[in-house]
Every structure is written in C-alpha cells, then in structure tokens.
Amino acid sequence: MTQNLTNQKDKYGIAEDESKKHTDAIVESSSRKKVVVAGPGTGKTYLFKRIIEGKNNALTLTFVNALVEDLSLELYGMSDVKTLHSFARSTLGTATGNVKVFPKLSEVVKEDAKILLKKEIDFDFIFHNMDDGNEDIEFYKKRKNYYDKHYGYSDIIFALVKYLEANKGKVPAFDHVLVDEFQDFNKLEIALIDLLSEKSPILIAGDDDQALYEDLKSASPKHIRERFSDSCTDYKSFSLPHCRRCTRTIVEAVNDIVSNASKNGAVKERIGKRYEYFDHKEKDVESEKNPKIIYSQQFARKIPWFIEKQLGEIANEIKGKFSVLIISPTKTQCRSTVEGLKKKGFSSIEWSDKKDDKEPTLLDGLKILLDDENSNLGWRIVSRFYLTEKDFVALLTNSNSENPKRFSEMIDSSKKKEVESALKILRSVKNGKKIKEEKLDEVLRKVGFNPYDIAKENLKEEIEFGSQRVGNPGLRKTQIKATTIESSKGLAADYVFITYFDDRYFIKDKDKTKITDKDICKFLVALTRARRKVFLISSDDKKKPTFLNWINSDRIEEVS
C-alpha cells in the first residue's frame, strides 16, 4: 500500500515537473520573439501570468470577445486586454483625436459601390489581405470621409497599420505584448503584430488544430506554422503539450481524430506536436468516473428530452452544481434545443438569439442619429428604409458629387419629419418617458419588432411564472450555455453536448468523403470544450458519423 502511494506521488510529481519544464523554458528564454503552440486546456493563461509577472505595462491582444472578458479577469491588474479593433481605435484616437467606429461600414460602402460604380467589391477582403495598391480603396476612403470619418472593424486596423508604417516613432512600446489565438489572424492583423514587435518583446500563442475563421476573415493557420517552423529564425518556438482541462478519454479521442485525419490525407501542413493528458490526482478521479464519450442517435425533436435525461443522471451522481455547454452547428438548431429545454422547465439557459446581421439595420441608423442628428452615415442608413429605390439611388448619387451637401439637407422634408418623429419616440423610450401606444407600435414595427409577439411572450412568461412549474426542481437552475461551434471558442464546461452530430452538418462538402482541415478543426474545438464528459448526439438514424468512426471504439459508449 505504501509503495502504491509512493508510486502515485511520483507519477503526479513527474507530471508536474514535466509541465513546469515547458513553462519555465518559455518564461526564462531571452528571446524577444516567441511562438507557443498550445492546444486546448494546456495552460496558456497561466503562462501569460508568468510572462507578465512584475511588469507594469503589458498588452494582451485577441480577436475573440469572449476571451477578452475571461482574460481581463484572469490578468486583472497585470495587463491591458483588448480586441484588435479596440486597440486600433484607442491607439488611433491617441494619435489623431476622437475616432468613431461603425462595425458595418464596409457593408454600407459595398452597397454604395454596387449602386454608384456598378461593381461588387469585397472591401473587407481587400483590407484583410493588405491589398494596398487596390484602386477601390480610394472610393472607400472618399465614402468613409463623407460618412463623418467613421471607421469599420477591418479598415480601422488597416488605417492604424498604414499610420504606424509611415510614423515608426509612433509605434507604442510595452513591457510585453501577448497575442492569443494567432492561428485565426489574417495578413492585416499580422502586419500590426509585426509593427508592435519592433518596439516590444512579443509572445504569440495559438494552435493550428483550432483554426476556424478562414472564410470569415481571410485568416490562415499558415502564419503560425511559418513562425513555428525551423526555417524561421526570428521566433523561438515552444509548445505546451499537457492538457489540464479534459479527461483522459477526451484527450485520447483528440489524438485518434488527428491520427485518422492524417491517414485519410488531411492535415498535411499541421504542426507536429504532442497533446497529452496531464496526470493529476483530481483529474484522474474525474477520468475514472467518466471513462467514455457518450454517443446517441435521437430524432431532432427528442434531443431536449435526451439532454434532460442525461442531466438528471449527472445530478443524481454529482449532487451539486455543474456547468453545461450545448454546441450546435447552426443558430436555428441552438434555438430549437433551447426552446425544447425551456418547455421542460430549465430556466438558467444563456444564449444569444440575435441575428448576425452583416448588413446595416434601420435601428443601426437611428441609433447613430440619436447621438448625432446630422450624421451623414445615420441619414444614409435610415434613408434606405424610408425612401423608394429610385429616390434612394438619386440621393446616393448626389452624395457622391464633387461638393455634396449633407444627407439630411438632401432628403425629402416629409421623409425627414418621419425619421425625426421616430427619433423622438426612441429618445422617450431611452429616457423612460410615457409614449402613446400607437406611436410606439409604429416605430417597433418599422425597426423589425412585432409588438404582438413581444406582448404574447411577456404574457406567456407571466402565466408560466404564476402557474405550477414543470420539470424537475433539482434541474431547473442548472447553468446551461448554448452556442454554435464558432462561438464556443474560449468556452469550457463540465459537460458538453454536441448536437446534430451528423456528416451533413459536420462535413461541409456535398461529397462527404471530402473532409477538409476546417471540418476537422471544428470538431476538435467542440470536443475539447469539456472538462469531464462529452455527449455526441446524432439526428441521422441511417448512418453513423464519420468522425465517430475515427475515435477508438473502446472510448465510446452508445446509449439510447
């Protein structure tokens, strides 16, 4: 018995020493430029703390909003944590004065180009890929200047890069710059990082197995691969191989997926790296209690029932609080699952049902006008909704003349009064003043809200609150977060349910034998959100998912 305890102590001690060796090597390196490849749960945040310990002027950059919040808390008082565009805004603001940002500006100018130039131009693509010489940038600048010099999310980073390239003495200096999720950076963002590295020690961290945003923002894992490669002499390469988040079976399943992906001709450019379970007493206990990944086939309408059933079994075993993350391929599937769980009495579900509108909405324009009633951008956006197509095109054409008037001066006076009436009602709402119902209803419908639906939903909640509650009282307050795969980045929970786990959703190509690196990355991201156990729920009763077959069958338990 004593010998067993000694061996166990040695096992954990060896694991801790091995993990510390990797972290110490990074912290103690004298290199001013470091690249760290770190898989999910391998201790990046702990490393960041070690790197900036004792420093007074550190900066941490990422582009994932969820990570900004988490890192801001973890690094509180140690580092300023910002998204790339918020950093660009504050830095440009310091250099040039007040900077105004409208995230959808590129979409506004894109529509302008379609009408005025008869051209389809993807301005975000131009900026993301640093296409400096593109002739269409001048049109963008002209429209941007007319729109009260607002910036969008992509062109504000472009503007900062061009400003710093022309004014190298203005590149800000920090005690240390930390960059997270580098595998999802594009050429423009990397140009900014390269500029910062001229003045400050820098550490970039990421994992090419978690690259998701190539389509969204022209990102590419090739950038982290190039800096990690032996041929790169600028950066010193390191890795963090030990996963402290996931149980043993999840870590082993990840390696199964990578191995089979390689055998099937995928992930050819992948960085060869270790990803290993971290031996720890508490984690071993969790691994022994959760030795399998659960797989179940359920018709779509039965998914909430299955989740409720599994949560009941978990609660019976844990007899305490635990966190749950439900990951679905699409927002529609998220909504369906959430609605089904709410009907079963679950009341602590966090999720966003907001539409990811790339195009500007009427409410976007009205909100700009609430802050600046003469804003050209605000009037241009609302005019799209108040004018006929013919009148809008004529107005837009006039705004593109040599010395254009302000948009508010050119718009028809009757339409202008309609907009001003809507603004008056919105100001009353903002200030809590009483409003005539018919006037409020009119504005609500105009901006896309149905007053009847709002009232019905509120009444439904009141009825349900006052009536006998449904569902198991022990489960109602279970903390559940529901999200898509892309939005799960940076999240973690004790138990993760991956729904609609079918080839038609997890393999993008119509030919389901053609599996891309991105397909694989998305599944790996979803799989590694779990601290204790993963549930894979298929909705296809005819064929088992390809990725399920890529995991060693000894690690899978099928349940009905």
Mapping DSSP onto H, E and C, the string for 435-448 reads CCHHHHHHHHHHCC
Give SS3 for 388: coil
Is 22 strand, coil or helix?
helix
The answer to whether the beta carbons of residues 547 and 523 sit under 8 Å apart is yes
Q: Are 39 and 275 in contact (CB under 8 A)?
A: yes
Q: Write down the H helix ranges in 129-171.
A: 136-146, 153-166
Question: Phi and psi dihedrals of 491, rounded to 5?
Answer: -100, 160
Tell me what pLDDT residue 390 has. 95
What would the two tokens of residue 485 be? Answer: 């795969």
Q: What is the pLDDT of residue 527?
A: 97
Task: Show Cβ contacts of residue 471 under 8 Å, excluding neighbours closer than 6 positions.
Answer: 308, 344, 345, 346
Which one, of 404, 366, 393, 398, lies nearest residue 382 by Cα? 366
Q: 420-451 pLDDT, tens per residue?
A: 998 888 888 888 888 877 777 777 787 777 76
* Kind and range of the H or E run holding 481: strand 479-484
Q: At residue 154, what are phi and psi to the nearest 5 degrees? A: -85, -45
The answer to whether 523 touches 515, Cβ cutoff 8 Å, is: no
Which pLDDT value is given to residue 459? Answer: 65
User: What is the pLDDT at residue 297?
Assistant: 96
Strands 349-350 and 323-328 come out as unpaired
| CB atoms closer than 10 angstroms to residue 38 | 25
Q: In the chain, which residues have pLDDT < 70?
A: 1-9, 66-67, 76, 353-356, 451-471
CB 500 within 8 A of CB 333: yes
Instruction: Annotate 424-456 with b (16+ C-beta within 10 A) or e (fewer).
Output: ebbebeeeeeeeeeeebbebbebbeeeeeeeee
Neighbours of 352 (CB within 10 A): 12
Q: Which residues contact 163 (CB under 8 A, 6 or more apart)?
A: 92, 95, 96, 170
Query: What residues contact 110, with CB distance under 8 A and at least 6 apart?
Result: 120, 121, 122, 123
The C-alpha atoms of residue 494 and residue 474 are separated, in whole angstroms, by 17
Hey, what are 372's tokens?
A: 């600046």
At residue 547, what is the residue type?
F
| 545 phi/psi in degrees, rounded to 5 | -65, 145
Q: Please report the pLDDT score of residue 440 as a whole number.
A: 78
| 241 touches 207 (CB < 8 A) | no
Q: Residue 224 and residue 39: Cα distance in Å, rounded?
A: 13
**What SS3 class is residue 536?**
strand
Tell the burial category of 288 from Cβ atoms under 10 Å away from its Cβ (0-12, 13-18, 19+). exposed
Cα–Cα distance measured from residue 442 to residue 160, given in angstroms and rounded to the nearest whole number: 42
Measured distance CA(97)–CA(517) in Å, rounded: 43
Give residue 28's Cα distance to chain centre: 32
